[in-house]
Structure 1
Amino acid sequence: MRGRRLAALPAAAAVLLLLALAAPAHAAGYRYWSYWLRSGATWTYAQTGPAMHTPADGTVEGWRFAVSEDAAATAAQPRGSADFAAICANVPAAPGRKRVALLIDPGTPADAPDSSATPPAPRTACAQLPPSASSADALAAVAKPLRYNSAGIVCAITGYPAAGCGDEISATPHSSHNGPSLGLIAAAAAIAALALAATWQSRRSRNR
């Protein structure tokens, strides 16, 4: 009887794990404005908030509104040209001031909170500021009205979107990020093998 119980434990575990693998996953994404720093021709997801960052003269920064599952790994980058000389061509350098170029990309219709809404076109702007001004100051200088939540997260730039802030979005079951990993499949196979071995050992003991 004890052998039967031991055999049933790994067998049940294998069934539960295999059922979990077969069920569709529902990873969550978030719709929000992401903040980017430009270095040469490369965008890097900012690791600090704009209020905590003090850009140097000649800096290029970007903002992109999109739906992303995992911020740094899958967040959509700003689209369009991001050349400082071109963006700030009409804003001459001034003593005691710095210039920060911004690319603001409201995203695609697929990213819009309302399926019938058309996002504004991406645009660039050049902010001229005191040397101590933050990236949040640069954004406020060229992209009002801004909307923040109680945690200081940027919810809307130039009034877009009109509502919502970092809203959670349910991912589709067919998303490429939702399938079972090879490690989970291997684990299920191993547990199934243990179940078969335990069952065989139990039967062998009874037949002696």
Structure 2
Amino acid sequence: MMRTRRTAPAVARRLIPAVVSAVAPAAALAVLAVLVAGPAQAAGYRYWSFWDRTDGTWQFATQGPSSARPADGDVQGFRFAVSADSQDASKPRGAADFDTICAGTPAVDGAKRVALVIDFGTLADASGGAKPPAERTACAQVSPDATSAEALAAVAKPLRYNSAALLCSIAGYPRTGCGEQVSATGADRTDSGNSNNGTEASGTSRPDGTSDADGGPSAGLIGGLAAVIALAGAGVWQARRRRLRG
């Protein structure tokens, strides 16, 4: 008896449901696990954020301190804390009035005065049981073209930067660490990278400047899962073809 030869479209129609039923459940579970676990693990980053005092309120700075050039009479702030992005970043605390902060620093020709508020954060923001210093204010008297970073260096040494020019430490605090990612449980996950506006990045960037807006899995991970699914589907296809030929 002659065996009827099935056409390729007919075979494909029979195999597609088998491939989907064999591969989709495991793949869907893998993707779901990544999507669910990803946002739950990361709470934010521990870093120094940078602020401008405008009309009596703190505004997240749109430039980093190494590029911002404050004018005489400006008030700027630095706050060490854990936050995910500019929307939930902790603002500097304490007095923030220029006349009060710079009252003991008279104006001189050829220089500008910049009032700085430096807030070292809370115990909850600290890493490894460190005790943050009390917040302080200072009046930096610097050259007219000085940046905010130069003003900070004039009153709050030692400063520490990493290889990517991230401001990691002000007045020696913290002693270690630099823009590390913090899990939802408060544990450090990494110890590298750049903070957002404090080091020239902004918005919802990671400290290393890469996007983390949705908190989801990376494109590379999604691509890897897709490759696994494709390989599994090819295996099922080959197995069915061998059975049909037999």
| TM-score, normalized by the shorter chain, greater than 0.5 | yes
TM-score, normalised with respect to structure 2:
0.62
| 1:71-115 deviations in Å (ceiling 9; x for gaps) | x11111111110000000000111121100000000000111122
| 1:113-161 deviations in Å (ceiling 9; x for gaps) | 122x211000000001111111011000000010011111111100001
Distance 1:159 1:59 in 2: 24
Question: Number of aligned pairs?
Answer: 173
Question: Which residue of 2 is the match for residue 132 of structure 1?
Answer: 145
Q: For 1:48, which of 63, 85, 107 is the aligned residue?
A: 63
Question: Which residue of 1 is the match for residue 100 of structure 2?
Answer: 86
Distance 1:35 1:29 in 2: 16
Deviation at 1:12, TM superposition (A): 5.2
Question: Which residue of 2 is the match for residue 191 of structure 1?
Answer: none
Structure 2 runs not aligned, ≥5 long? 1-12, 187-246
SS across alignment from 1:109 = coil
Q: For 1:68, which of 79, 83, 86 is the aligned residue?
A: 83
Matches within 5 A, 1:155-194: 155-172=168-185
2:76 and 2:117 in contact (8 A); partners too: yes
Q: Which residue type is aligned with residue 127 of structure 1?
A: A
Deviation at 1:18, TM superposition (A): 7.5
SS across alignment from 2:66 = helix
Larger proportion of strand? 1
Distance 2:145 2:33 in 1: 57
Structure 1 runs not aligned, ≥5 long? 174-208
RMSD: 2.8
Q: Which residue type is aligned with residue 153 of structure 2?
A: A
Q: Which residue type is aligned with residue 42 of structure 2?
A: A
Distance 1:63 1:156 in 2: 11
Question: Which residue of 2 is the match for residue 96 of structure 1?
Answer: 110
Deviation at 1:47, TM superposition (A): 2.0
Distance 1:78 1:19 in 2: 38
2:123 and 2:131 in contact (8 A); partners too: yes
| 1:19-75 deviations in Å (ceiling 9; x for gaps) | 7787682124111111111102211111221111110000000000011122x1111
2:42 and 2:181 in contact (8 A); partners too: no
Q: Which residue type is aligned with residue 120 of structure 1?
A: P
Structure with the greater relative contact order (CA < 8 A, sep ≥ 6): 1 or 2? Answer: 1
SS across alignment from 2:47 = strand
Identity fraction in percent? 59
Distance 2:109 2:120 in 1: 33
TM-score, normalised with respect to structure 1:
0.72
Q: Which residue type is aligned with residue 105 of structure 1?
A: D
Distance 1:105 1:50 in 2: 15
